[in-house]
Structure formats: structure tokens, C-alpha cells
Amino acid sequence: MRPHSFYRKDFATYAETCFEKFGDRVKNWITFNEPHTFAIQGYDVGLEAPGRCSILLHLFCRAGNSATEPYIVGHNILLSHAAVADIYRKNYKLKQKGSVGVAFDVFWYEPATNTTEDIDATQRAIDFHLDWFLEPLVFGDYPSSMRSRVQTRLPRFSKVQSSLLKGSLDFVGINHYTTWYAKDNSSNSIGVLLNDSLADSGAIILRMSITIPLIQKLFLLQIHLLSLTFSCIDHLLNFQHSTMENLLVTGEDGCNVKGYFAWSLLDNWEWGAGFSSRFGLYYVDYNDNLKRCAKDSVKWFKNLLTST
């Protein structure tokens, strides 16, 4: 296997080729889409390519190390982004007047109870998800909880790398799915069974759904809310309405919200969920020649767009 620096150079070469060929027309560049997703799904739990993991004593994967590889992958993602952002700012930004950012996959977390333990676990859950990738790009290093809990398994940035990372985002893209409760993991059973990033966080995640307080955390950053997803038809309209209300409030509070994209126009193939999840504004009948019909949210969305 080649040194990691070769892959970062390859990515930088690819990105610069895109800047050269398309930069006169493309003004918003996303270097990586959902880095947390493919670092975890590909190298921690092995559900996506390349299918590497070691959880449950390699029950699901033939090769991999869930305790180290996700962190190595995340490290190289961050350094690759920083290198590309630096190239764009030095060689293309003045002429092309574009922006470079990352689209993060984001769940928000709320404490399952008001105990100090669950409140602390909630912050760790955030640290091991959004902040794992956001904080190095804003502050130049990983969250302190990751440093203390992962220790030597978490790669370190040199001073030069940290300087290159810090402030390398022109905008923050947010793909927001839902919100979860977080509870402190008071036992070591998960650590023994998984020995991965989830175990490292010391938080147990429980399902819930509320609106998006995560915008408050990104108060001073330029936000492009790339997609919010919800598959239940009866709740889609309320979800879109609630989202817009909260975005309006955060904008009034000073958060620099620059854009919003509803996911998605049509029901489609949703990764591992296949056709079972229906996020579209338009319903697609897969059993009747892909016939389409507008959900209630379409009328609401049209009224929103025509009234602004």
C-alpha cells in the first residue's frame, strides 16, 4: 500500500483539474460529501466499500481494524480537503471567485436525562460525529474529548498541517437527517464487543426526532443547508415547515444561512434503504410505470417560493 500522502496528492491533482476545466462555471465546490459516513460505514462497521471492520471479533469483515482505521481515514480526508482549499485560494479564487467547503452528515443529539453523565455523553456524541471533522477545519485540531479518549490511536497534525486546516472552509454544508437522544455508557460491554469509534465516545444513542438546534452551534459560519430528509409522507410537510421556521430564526439571530435544498424532488433509491424510504416531494409509484403524484408538501413549498 502506498503512503497516505500519495493519495492526498492524487486527490489534490484531481481537484485542481476540476478547477482548471470547470471553475469558470462552477462557483461552489464541495471537496467531500458526508466524510463521517464513509469513514464509519467503510472502515468501522464495514457496511459500505471497502467493507473493512473488526467489530464483534471480525464477525462481519475479513479484514480491518475498527479501532484505528476510521481515524486514519478521517485524518486523510481532512488533510486532503485542506490541501485542495489551499490550492484554490492561492491559484483560482481571485479569478474564479468561488468557494470551497465540505458537506457534513449531521445528526444532532440531546441528553436522554438531565443527569450530568448524560449531558456529558451528549457532548461526546457530538464530538465524535460533527466535531470530529468540523473542529479541525475551524480550530486546527480534534475535539479534546477525542484526544483524551482515543489517545495514541488518533493521528496528530503537525503545526504546518494544523495551520493549513484552520479556517479552510468557505462554507459549511449540512446534510441533516434527524436527532437522537444520548445516554452515558456506564458499562464496558460496548467497548468489549465493538472496540470502535462508537465505543470510544462512551455514549449510547437512542432514537428521537425534533428540529435542528445544530444551527446554533455553527453560529458564525456560512451555512449551506444541503438537505434534510424525512420519509414519512404525513410528517414531511410539518418537517419542511418547521425547518424553514428554524432557519428563519437562526438567520435573524445572526447565523449566515446562504442556502437550503430539500431532499428530494422525487422518491428514489436511498442507499441501503433502497426504495423503501420515500424522501421525495413527489411520490413515485414503482408498480405503475413510475407514475408521479405531488405530496401535500409540494403545494406548501410552491406557496413558500412564490410568496418570498
Better-scored residue on pLDDT, 304 or 224: 304
Q: What is the mean pLDDT of residues 212-232?
A: 49
Q: Enter the pTM of the model.
A: 0.88
Give the lowest-confidence range in 16-30, 170-184, 186-200, 267-281.
186-200
What mean pLDDT comes out for the span 124-147?
A: 97
The single residue listed with the C-alpha cell 472552509 is 169
Residue-wise burial string across 19-58, b where 16 or more C-beta atoms lie within 10 A, e elsewhere: beeebeeeeebbbbebbbebbbbbbbbbeeeebbbbbeee
| Average pLDDT estimate for 134-138 | 97
